[in-house]
């Protein structure tokens, strides 16, 4: 039987930055860098939430 502590909760993965040449430099809207920066901000939010859950799990066991 699975215990609540056994819930699979992997650390979020950071988005990969655009590769060289993916940005054409012509001011596209949205630019690949705009999309990347949005994904990076979302990743940072998910990471902070995950870190808080991990900290809570660590203190629950003590």
First to last CA, the chain: 22
Going by pLDDT thresholds of 50, 70 and 90, the confidence category of residue 1 is very low
23, part of any domain: no
Going by pLDDT thresholds of 50, 70 and 90, the confidence category of residue 7 is confident
56, part of any domain: yes
18, part of any domain: no
Q: What's the total number of domains in the chain?
A: 1
pLDDT at residue 3, as a whole number: 58
pLDDT above 50: residue 13: yes
pTM here?
0.79
Do 50 and 12 meet the contact criterion of CB atoms below 8 Å apart?
Answer: yes
Residue-number span of the structural domain to which 58 is assigned: 28-62
46, part of any domain: yes
């Amino acid at each position: 039987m699975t215990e609540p502590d056994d819930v699979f909760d992997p650390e979020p993965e950071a988005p990969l930055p655009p590769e060289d040449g993916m940005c054409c430099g012509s001011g596209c809207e949205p630019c690949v860098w705009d999309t990347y920066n949005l994904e990076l901000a979302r990743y940072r939010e998910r990471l902070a939430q995950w870190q808080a859950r991990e900290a809570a799990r660590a203190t629950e066991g003590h």
